């Protein structure tokens, strides 16, 4: 008989073996301890894991570490669903549906503001998830950077794997990360392991022995970076490409960061804009208020009050006045009524204004929403 519940610490070795087996059979040889060291290379992940068992055998699992998203002065608690796996010989029994249901119910009961995951869109829409956010991927080649800089020579840069760095420099890199405006807050002890997630590398950058900052490189893509003010990032990337004998590299930005890095966009050969993940929101009041406050802290927005009704989730009066934002439950008539998936599309997707050209919410949407790739699970 199938049984479901929270995993135990005694099961962790078996759970890791199970996940590696399922993903190795379905995709390619997989070692989750190497892919996700901050979760699976230490004890304790069972507290985040829902498991299906039958006669002592593990037949399915879903792991959902909880995290905190910092958006300006605001904070949102969320869970990142991953390692969604069912035994390949036991599919068709509804194991994954039940595990996902239990994961969603547990997240709501624990007071998380939202859940995120990555996966096939139509599959996870069934569970209330929708594509969300926007990530801009720039491709920068040696040629494009050189031309944008009029072929000026680069400075004297040095690149050091963060695993080989000195403690003080790691501390500085960690502090730079924590000062970011849209980041997942990390424990200091987790900083280096997180930069090894997905077999990525954290790289510290020096110029004339002075630490400039760091970047996270994964599969030839700079998916995270933080530098002290004044750093010439295109020049640094050109120096890195020359030292690595690489023709080019991708670099991820959130659209709202473009005004901070016009030199990166000017140096790009090409670019594309995609939704980086899927989200299911539980606490719409906190989600809207936190991210809209973050947006207004960076960009003046049209003032006013509008009411959004999200079917089954609540009706919310949204007020923007100068730098002040309030989102409150209301019984006032709605200016727009949407189901939860449509509400995610309206409030977070870069295509928001094209999908909903008659929306009454001025310039408030899309909200600046993303989870950094190194924190993905």
Q: Considering the domain boundaries, does residue 223 fall inside one?
A: yes
Residue with tokens 């010439």: 232
Same domain, 248 and 287: no
Catalogue the long-range contacts made by 354-358 (C-beta closer than 8 Å, 24 or more residues apart): none
> What's the CA gap between 155 and 230, in Å, rounded?
14
Same domain, 225 and 147: yes
Same domain, 194 and 246: yes
pLDDT at residue 136 in the model = 97
Residue with tokens 């599309």: 345
pLDDT at residue 301 in the model = 98
Q: Which token pair is 352?
A: 């928001």
pLDDT at residue 209 in the model = 87
Same domain, 270 and 290: no
Same domain, 247 and 169: yes
Q: Considering the domain boundaries, does residue 268 fall inside one?
A: yes
Burial of 333 (0-12, 13-18, 19+ CB in 10 A): exposed
Residue 269 phi/psi, 5° resolution? -70, -40
Q: Considering the domain boundaries, does residue 37 fall inside one?
A: yes
CATH number for 142: 3.40.630.30
pLDDT at residue 152 in the model = 78
Same domain, 256 and 301: no
Same domain, 155 and 256: yes
Same domain, 183 and 212: yes
Sheet of strand 336-338: strand arrangement: 324-329, 314-321, 304-310, 336-338
Q: Considering the domain boundaries, does residue 124 fall inside one?
A: no
Q: Which domain holds residue 54?
A: 2-112
Compute CA distances 83 → 17, 80, 100, 130, 143, whole Å. Answer: 12, 10, 11, 19, 40
Compute CA distances 253 → 56, 122, 189, 334, whole Å. Answer: 46, 26, 26, 34
| DSSP strands (E only) in 218-263 | 221-227, 248-253
pLDDT at residue 70 in the model = 98
pLDDT at residue 318 in the model = 98
Same domain, 317 and 269: no
**CA-CA-CA-CA torsion for 22, 221, 281, 115, nearest 10 degrees?**
30
Same domain, 270 and 288: no
Q: Please give the distance of CA 116 from its chain centroid, rounded to a whole number.
A: 8
pLDDT at residue 231 in the model = 94
> What's the CA gap between 108 and 266, in Å, rounded?
43
Q: Considering the domain boundaries, does residue 377 fall inside one?
A: no
Q: Considering the domain boundaries, does residue 122 fall inside one?
A: no
> What's the CA gap between 5 and 19, in Å, rounded?
17
Same domain, 88 and 195: no
Count the domains in the chain: 3
Beta pairing class for 57-63 and 74-80: unpaired
Q: Considering the domain boundaries, does residue 252 fall inside one?
A: yes
Closest CA to 109 of 75, 69, 66: 66
Of the residues 219, 246, 274, which one is the last residue of a structural domain?
A: 274
In the predicted model, residues of the chain with pLDDT beneath 50 are none
| Full-model pTM | 0.95
pLDDT at residue 154 in the model = 74
CATH number for 363: 3.30.1050
> What's the CA gap between 77 and 377, in Å, rounded?
15
Same domain, 34 and 78: yes
Q: Considering the domain boundaries, does residue 128 fall inside one?
A: no
């Amino acid at each position: 008989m199938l049984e479901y519940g929270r995993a135990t610490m005694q099961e962790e070795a078996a759970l890791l073996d199970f996940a590696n087996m399922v993903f190795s059979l379905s995709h390619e040889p997989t070692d989750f301890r190497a892919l996700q060291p901050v979760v699976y290379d230490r004890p304790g992940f069972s507290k985040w894991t829902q498991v299906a068992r039958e006669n002592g055998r593990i037949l399915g699992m879903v792991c959902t570490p909880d995290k905190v998203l910092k958006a300006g002065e605001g904070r949102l608690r969320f869970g990142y669903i991953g390692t969604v796996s069912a035994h390949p010989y036991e599919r068709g029994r509804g194991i994954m549906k039940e595990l996902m249901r239990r994961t969603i119910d547990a997240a709501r009961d624990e007071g998380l503001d939202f859940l995120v995951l990555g996966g096939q869109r139509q599959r996870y829409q069934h569970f209330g998830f929708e594509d969300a956010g926007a990530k801009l991927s720039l491709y920068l080649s040696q040629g494009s950077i050189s031309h944008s800089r009029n072929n000026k020579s680069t400075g004297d840069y040095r690149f050091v794997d963060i695993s080989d760095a000195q403690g003080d420099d790691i501390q500085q890199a960690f502090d730079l990360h924590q000062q970011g405006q849209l980041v997942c807050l990390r424990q200091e002890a987790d900083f280096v392991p997180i930069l090894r997630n997905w077999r990525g590398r954290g790289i510290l950058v020096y110029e004339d022995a002075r630490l400039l900052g760091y970047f996270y490189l994964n599969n030839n893509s700079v998916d995270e970076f933080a530098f002290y003010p004044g750093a010439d990032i295109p020049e640094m990337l050109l120096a890195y490409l020359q030292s690595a004998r690489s023709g080019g590299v991708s670099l991820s930005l959130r659209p709202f960061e473009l005004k901070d890095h016009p030199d990166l966009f000017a140096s790009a050969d090409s670019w594309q804009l995609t939704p980086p993940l899927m989200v299911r929101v539980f606490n719409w009041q906190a989600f809207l208020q936190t991210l809209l406050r973050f947006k207004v802290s960076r960009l003046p927005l049209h003032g006013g009050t509008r009411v959004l009704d999200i079917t089954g989730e609540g009706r919310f009066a949204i007020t923007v006045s100068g730098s002040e934002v309030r989102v409150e439950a209301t019984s006032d008539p709605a200016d727009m009524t949407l189901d939860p998936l449509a509400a995610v599309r309206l409030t977070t997707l870069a295509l928001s204004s094209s999908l909903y050209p008659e929306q009454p919410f001025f310039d408030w949407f899309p909200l600046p929403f993303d989870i950094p790739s190194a924190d993905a699970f």
